[in-house]
């Protein structure tokens, strides 16, 4: 397993439901990032983890969004009470401790009906 993996690849949900998106980074990468790609907004930074800590949560669009990382590896992005404007592709990336070269997963396409 060389690359960053994300699951599910596609998620369709109804407005108001909660969703969990998972990211499995490259083994040994200490930094993990979440981004969102949507029409009209381009690529937006959401949150960054170094180990299990999130020193930068500045990009989370509202308090309905939260993320955690356990064991310095897998991360989960949770969106509560989903809204139609949450529809987007959610991308995860990881990097080594130097941080500047990020490797991206294939993304999770979220559709909120």
Q: Which stretch binds another protein (CB under 8 A): 12-20, 31-39, 67-75, 77-85?
A: 31-39
58 alpha-carbon distance from chain centroid? 14
Least distance to another protein from the beta carbon of 25, Å?
14
72 near another protein, rule: CB under 8 A = no
61 near another protein, rule: CB under 8 A = no
31 near another protein, rule: CB under 8 A = yes
Look at residues 24, 23, 21, 22 and name the one whose alpha carbon lies nearest to residue 86: 21
CA angle 90, 59, 24 (to 5 degrees): 40
Kind and range of the H or E element at 22?
Answer: strand 19-24
Binding stretches for another protein (CB under 8 A): 31, 33, 35, 42-43, 45, 48, 50, 55-56, 58-59, 91, 93, 99-107
């Amino acid at each position: 397993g060389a690359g960053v993996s994300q699951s599910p690849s596609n998620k369709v949900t109804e407005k108001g439901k909660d969703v969990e998106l998972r990211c499995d980074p490259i083994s040994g990468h200490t930094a993990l990032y979440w981004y969102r790609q949507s029409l009209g907004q381009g690529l937006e930074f959401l949150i960054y983890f170094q180990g299990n800590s999130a020193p930068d949560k500045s990009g989370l669009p509202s308090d309905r969004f939260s993320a955690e990382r356990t064991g310095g590896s897998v991360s989960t992005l949770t969106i509560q009470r989903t809204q139609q404007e949450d529809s987007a592709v959610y991308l995860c990336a990881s990097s080594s401790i130097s941080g500047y070269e990020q490797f991206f997963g294939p993304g999770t396409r979220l559709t909120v009906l």
